[in-house]
Copies of this chain bind each other. A is one copy, B any other.
């Protein structure tokens, strides 16, 4: 069938720190034939994630993308041809289709079929995708916030953070967010309903946290590590839970950077600090998507998207993400 041309973004080198366009190359090639058990998907939306920095590093990481491979990414696309049972032309899917126009994949690459027709499909890469599901799963399984507790969120306006703040608020918690620009501060108050927002670039973080959290921090949802975490740890309440979900503020882990030791804070506050990776929790993925869809339909969960057009724009997007230039879920529209 395929005289179709496929533009793909390949990884050509490992970044020293934050991935830049220089770590990628765009190739054009023919779309391969669809064999038995495979599906051909035309991508409509590509995702850009902070985690991509980790997927491109080869140190201290759980799963690296190989040099020469198509850049790994979750995508939303439509089935163009199917030789796999259960998939039909026209089905809309969210899955691991990579930074490319077309993907020929096994069904195992599919995370979910999108059946809702009343919800914009791009949301399945953001607030209804791994961002929202990460927020909900990690907050529920590790944070377990109780009514009246104080929940602090780093990257408060980001794809995960903005969802965490809203979910915690809905549970009756006092929510405190840290973000980086006046525009994001405003979005945190007006759209994501934080009780208190700190601009970590201009405010005295420790002092502002003390004002915002007079009874200490019960749950810290950490997407950054670094200076923000260093200011939060001494303010943990007894029995606090720290969800280690990302380390966006640290650009390089080899060698391991130094920071203030956490042991004494964990000991004296009997606090828990725990790493979270969504891939360990895929068995409950659909359940959380359903809960979040219900909140979206009820108008109780607000989101923002930051969209750029065309495959070429993906190559710069990780870098922009780490510079904090986006407001909302970073997406590429094809």
A residues engaging B (CB < 8 A)?
A: 54, 60-62, 222, 225, 229, 234, 244-247, 250, 253, 256-277, 280
CA distance A274 to B244 in the complex (A): 13
- Complex alpha-carbon distance, A323 and B319, angstroms: 49
Q: Check if A258 sits within 8 Å of B259, measured CB to CB.
A: yes
Contact flag A264-B253 (CB < 8 Å), given A258-B259, A259-B259:
yes
Cα of A280 to Cα of B102 in the assembled complex, Å: 57
What are 28 A-B pairs with beta-carbon distances under 8 A? A60-B265, A60-B268, A61-B268, A222-B263, A225-B263, A244-B263, A247-B263, A247-B267, A250-B263, A256-B260, A256-B261, A256-B264, A257-B261, A258-B258, A258-B259, A259-B259, A259-B260, A259-B261, A262-B262, A263-B275, A267-B276, A269-B275, A270-B276, A270-B277, A270-B280, A271-B274, A272-B273, A272-B274
Residue pair B250, A266 in contact (C-beta under 8 Å): no
Quote the shortest CB–CB distance from A269 to chain B (angstroms): 6
CB < 8 Å neighbour of A60 from B222, B264, B271: B264
Q: Please pick, from B61, B274, B280, the residue contacting A266 in the complex, using a CB distance under 8 A.
A: B274
Complex partner residue of A277 from B267, B277, B280, CB under 8 angstroms = B267
Q: Please report the C-alpha to C-alpha distance between residue A263 and residue B276 in the assembled complex, in whole angstroms.
A: 11
